[in-house]
Structure 1
Amino acid sequence: MLMLLVSSVLMFFSGLIVFSSSRKHLLLMLLSLEFIVLSLYLNIFIYLSLNDYNYFFSMIFITMSVCEGALGLSVLVSMIRSWGNDYILTFSSLW
């Protein structure tokens, strides 16, 4: 169980490294954010299973993360329709 916990923490930090290093495309940033959310879900699931708690909070968390992913994809589609690509530096957020 300790190995699973260490691997989920390693997943979280590798997602943070990818998120901070790939600031060129919005799609890569969204994928790394989803990877971070999945590692947090794994951490919550491990914590709840070790302490014999109910898994209701994990279902709320996964529902909110799905909503966050849908919102990110809608922003990506809107950005591609407006500017033609998903490069972060090609658009000005002051418009």
Structure 2
Amino acid sequence: MLIYLCFMFFCGVWVFCSNRGHLLITLLSLEYIVLVNYLILYYYFYFFDYELCFVVIFLTFSVCEGVLGLSLLVSMIRSCGNDYLDNYIMLRC
């Protein structure tokens, strides 16, 4: 099971590093990495019979991170008109 989770994590990192065109794709790959980290943390705590309170705290922080990313995406689309990262660097919006 750990091998599958590590493979999923590195696939998410690969997508994050290779796709830099849209901000939305970048944010989705970051959310995928956070969800894989959540699964790894959950299985670790469940396997060693720890309390699962930290998993809830981690999930809360990951939701806050997702909301912050979406708010940045909306503000970027409202100011520049699209979410292309290449145009954002050239236009200096």
* Superposition TM-score tier, normalisation by shorter sequence: over 0.9
Aligned length, in residue pairs:
92
CA distance in 2: counterparts of 1:91 and 1:76, whole angstroms: 12
CA RMSD of aligned residues (A): 1.4
CA distance in 2: counterparts of 1:38 and 1:26, whole angstroms: 18
Instruction: Answer yes or no: is the 8 Å Cα contact 1:5–1:46 preserved in 2.
Output: no
CA distance in 2: counterparts of 1:94 and 1:52, whole angstroms: 51
Q: How many percent of aligned residue pairs carry the same amino acid? A: 53
Deviation at 1:89, TM superposition (A): 1.2
Deviation at 1:94, TM superposition (A): 6.0
Question: Which consecutive aligned stretches of 4+ in structure 1 deviate over 6 angstroms post-superposition?
Answer: none
- Mapping of 1:1-80 within 5 angstroms? 4-80=1-77
User: Are 1:89 and 2:74 matched, yes or no?
Assistant: no
TM-score (norm 2): 0.94
Code of the residue aligned with 2:43 in structure 1: it is I
